[in-house]
Amino acid sequence: MKKSLEEPEYMMRKVDVISKKGAAALIQWVEDGHTHRATVAETELMDNNEISVEACEQGITYGVPWGELLPIFTVDGKTLENALHDQGIWTYADFFDKPAETMGALHSAFGLTYSRLAQIARDHRTNHKEK
């Protein structure tokens, strides 16, 4: 069966090469407005820094998987409203004029602080060798 040129192995993607080490290359690209990085075999790269979509997808994802580490946040509107009011955020002007208080309300409503995120990161780093 003939393969379509729309299949990932034929579709090409322009990437930035962040670094090369031995036979591996760390590449970066933007897809759907989000930046991605992966380690791929340097031989997969074309001279113009293009690589097949398939090779990108098969690369080793680079970085800490923050989305997998963090709990699912569910905050109802009333909880957020109460947290904003507790910080003195009642109007649009309050919201835009008091960014620190707004952030405090978000921290309060979502229950995530830098120290909690740092503890999650330390625990993950202890259990997984960072690449």
Q: 67, 62, 70: which is closest to 119 by C-alpha?
A: 70
Mean pLDDT of the chain, nearest integer: 86
According to the model, what pLDDT value does residue 65 have? 81
Mean pLDDT of the region 4-18? 77
Domain that holds residue 22: 12-62
Per-residue pLDDT tens over the stretch 15-31: 999 999 999 999 999 99
Which stretches within the chain are classed as H helix?
53-58, 66-69, 77-86, 92-97, 99-110, 114-127
- pLDDT score at 4: 45
Count the domains in the chain: 2
State mean pLDDT over 49-68. Answer: 90
Reduced to 3 states (helix: H, G, I; strand: E, B; else coil), residue 5 is coil
Judgement on whether residues 38 and 86 belong to the same structural domain of the protein: no
- The answer to whether residues 116 and 88 belong to one domain is yes
Do residues 73 and 123 both lie within one domain? Answer: yes
pTM reported for the whole predicted model: 0.65
29 and 56 Cβ atoms separated by less than 8 Å: yes
What phi and psi, each to the nearest 5 degrees, are found at residue 29? -150, 160
Mean pLDDT along residues 33-57: 94
Reference 67, options 124, 13, 1; nearest CA is 124
Please check the confidence at residue 51 and state whether its pLDDT lies above 90: yes
Listing from the earlier edge strand, what are the strands of the sheet with 60-61?
A: 16-21, 24-31, 34-41, 60-61
The answer to whether residues 117 and 74 belong to one domain is yes
Flag whether pLDDT at 114 surpasses 90. no
The answer, yes or no, to whether residue 2 has pLDDT greater than 60, is no
